[in-house]
Amino acid sequence: MSCSLDGYVADASGDFDWGAPDDAVHAFINGQVRDVRTFVVGRHMFEAMRVWDTWETGQSDATDEFAEIWRGIDKVVCSDTLVAAGSGVDAPRTTLEPRLTPERLAEIAAGTDGVVEVSGPTTAAGALLAGVVEELTVRVVPHVAGGGLRLLPDGMQADLVRAECVPLGDGSVFLRYTRP
């Protein structure tokens, strides 16, 4: 997940293009998600990431590699609006879950042989507030959004230990924090 220097994943108008990685950063991100076996995402994140299901190869090695990684990962889309509308998700390796609870996340993790990544601030909020997230990773982009959708939910409190800090060539910084 990328966020602005002031902690937003999208600005007040919903734009997040300022967080788009260049090829070198994309290659780094590929290395970070290569071990992920299940992505748990919300409806908005799922809609934004759908492009990778039909990505036309040949644009760059980094994006081609990410598309291949994405297609090989199971996805769980958490959306009560899609469930209420009677909509499904018509993407490969993708299931629909009405709402992510910490208990349901534990079941998903127990049923996955490998890393489970919860991506998207709205979907991750419950797990973050419940304290069941083992690791928090973020790419901080040198952009000030001034408002919008916050990375972390209001009311979250946690003591974390920095496990990794990687300056990237585009001026952004990759951070990984764990619980002590």
Q: How far apart are alpha carbons 27 and 15 in whole angstroms?
A: 23
Q: In a structure prediction context, what are the per-residue pLDDT tens digits for the chain, which is 180 residues long? A: 899 999 999 999 999 999 999 999 999 999 999 999 999 999 889 988 999 999 999 999 999 999 999 999 999 999 887 765 556 678 889 999 888 899 999 999 999 999 999 998 999 998 899 888 999 999 999 999 999 999 999 999 999 999 999 999 999 999 999 999
DSSP 75: E
Domain span at 39: 2-178
The pLDDT, as a whole number, for residue 81 is: 79
8 Å CB contact between 87 and 94:
no
What's the CATH number where 85 sits?
3.40.430.10
- Per the structure, the count of domains in the chain is 1
